[in-house]
Amino acid sequence: MTEKKYLKWYNKIGYGSGDIAGNVVYAFLATFVMIYLTDTAGLNAGIVGTLMMVSKIFDGFTDVIFGSLIDKTKTKLGKARPWMLFPYIGCSIMLAAIFAIPTTWGDVAKYAYFFITYTLLNAVFYTANNIAYSALTALITKNGNERVQMGSIRFIFAFGTSLLIQSITVKAVDWCGGGVEGWRNIAIIYAIIGLVVNTISVFSVKELPEEELENENHADEEAAKFSADAYPDFELADKEHRTDDESGKYSLLDAAKLLLANKYYIIICAVYILTQLFSATLSMGIYYMTYILGDEDLLGTFSLAINIPMICGLLITPYLVKKCKGMYKLNFTGYLISTIARGLVVVGGYMQNIPMMLIFTGVAAIAMSPMQGDLNALIAACSDYTYRTTGKRIDGTMYSCSSLGVKIGGGIGTALTGWLLAAGGYVANAAVQPESCINMLHFMYLWLPMLLNLLITILLSRLTVEKANENWDKEHNS
The CA distance from 60 to 377, in Å, is 23
Looking at every residue in the chain, the average pLDDT score rounds to 84
Compute how many other C-beta atoms are within 10 angstroms of the C-beta atom of residue 13: 16
- Residue 95 structural domain: 9-475
Helices (runs of H) and strands (runs of E) counted in the chain: 23, 0
- pLDDT for the residue 69: 87
Query: What pLDDT does residue 180 have?
Result: 92
User: Is 129 within the bounds of a domain?
Assistant: yes
Q: How far is CA 459 from CA 273, 310, 427, 452, in A?
A: 12, 21, 37, 11
The phi, psi pair for 472, rounded to 5°, reads -60, -45
For the cut 60, the answer to whether the pLDDT of residue 476 exceeds it is yes
Q: How confident is the model at residue 223 (pLDDT cuts 50, 70, 90)?
A: very low
- Cα-based distances in Å from 300 to 53, 164, 285: 28, 8, 10
pLDDT, tens digit, for every residue of 268-297? Answer: 888 888 988 888 788 778 899 989 998 888
| 322 part of a folded domain | yes
Q: If you average pLDDT over residues 32-55, what whole number do you get? A: 90
Indicate the range of 136-150, 240-254, 353-367 predicted with least confidence: 240-254
pLDDT of res. 405: 67
Find, among 167, 194, 172, 193, the residue nearest to 184 by Cα.
Answer: 172
- Sequence-separated (6 or more) residues with CB below 8 Å from residue 73: 79, 80, 82, 83, 396
| Encoded amino acid at 221, one letter | E
Note whether residue 169 is domain-resident. Answer: yes
Cα–Cα dist 300/425, whole Å: 26
Q: Quick one: average pLDDT of 206-212?
A: 81
Tell me what pLDDT residue 350 has. 93
Please indicate, yes or no, if residue 201 is contained in any of the structural domains: yes
The residue among 210, 265, 206, 261 whose CA lies nearest residue 239 is 210
Report the percentage of the chain scoring pLDDT > 70. 88
Domain count across the chain: 1
Would you say residue 147 has pLDDT above 90? no
Give a yes or no: residue 383 inside a domain.
yes
**Is the confidence at residue 266, as pLDDT, over 80?**
yes
Task: Give the Å distances, CA to CA, from 442 to 151, 192, 288.
Answer: 33, 36, 8
In a domain, 47, yes or no: yes
pLDDT of residue 219: 38
- CA 274, CA 405: separation in Å to the nearest integer? 8
**Residue 2 counted as domain residue:** no
According to the model, what pLDDT value does residue 57 have?
74
What global pTM score does this model have?
A: 0.71
10 Å CB burial of residue 418 (0-12, 13-18, 19+) is buried
Lowest mean pLDDT among 12-26, 98-112, 154-168, 454-468: 154-168
pLDDT above 50 (res 75): yes
- Using only C-alpha atoms, the chain has a radius of gyration, in whole angstroms, of 22
**Residues 238, 243, 247, 253: what is their CA dihedral angle, to the nearest 10 degrees?**
-120
- Is there a domain that residue 1 lies in? no
**Burial tier of 8 (Cβ tally within 10 Å: 0-12, 13-18, 19+):** exposed
Res 215: pLDDT: 65
Q: How confident is the model at residue 240 (pLDDT cuts 50, 70, 90)?
A: very low
At residue 143, the 3 state secondary structure works out as coil
Residue with more model confidence, 200 or 138 = 200
**What confidence score (pLDDT) does residue 285 get?**
87
What is the structure's pLDDT at 478? 60
- The pLDDT of residue 94 is 97
Of 28-37, 368-377, 393-402, give the lowest mean pLDDT range.
393-402
Q: Is pLDDT at 232 greater than 60 in this prediction?
A: no
pLDDT at 85: 95
Listed in sequence order, the residues at least 6 apart from 16 whose beta carbon sits closer than 8 Å to its beta carbon are: 150, 153, 154, 156, 157
What CA–CA distance (Å, rounded) separates 173 from 17?
A: 25
Number of CB atoms found within 10 A of residue 42's CB: 13
What spatial distance separates the first Cα and last Cα of the chain, rounded to whole Å?
A: 13
Distance, CA of 196 to chain centre: 20
- Give the domain CATH number at 103: 1.20.1250.20
Alpha carbons 295 and 378: distance in angstroms, whole number: 39
- For 417-432, how does the pLDDT look when each residue is reduced to its tens digit (9 = 90+)? 888 999 999 998 888 8
Q: Which residues contact 263 (CB under 8 A, 6 or more apart)?
A: none
Task: Please tell me the predicted confidence (pLDDT) of residue 131.
Answer: 86
Give the up-direction half-sphere exposure of residue 161: CA atoms within 13 A in the CB hemisphere. 25
pLDDT at residue 392 greater than cutoff 90: no
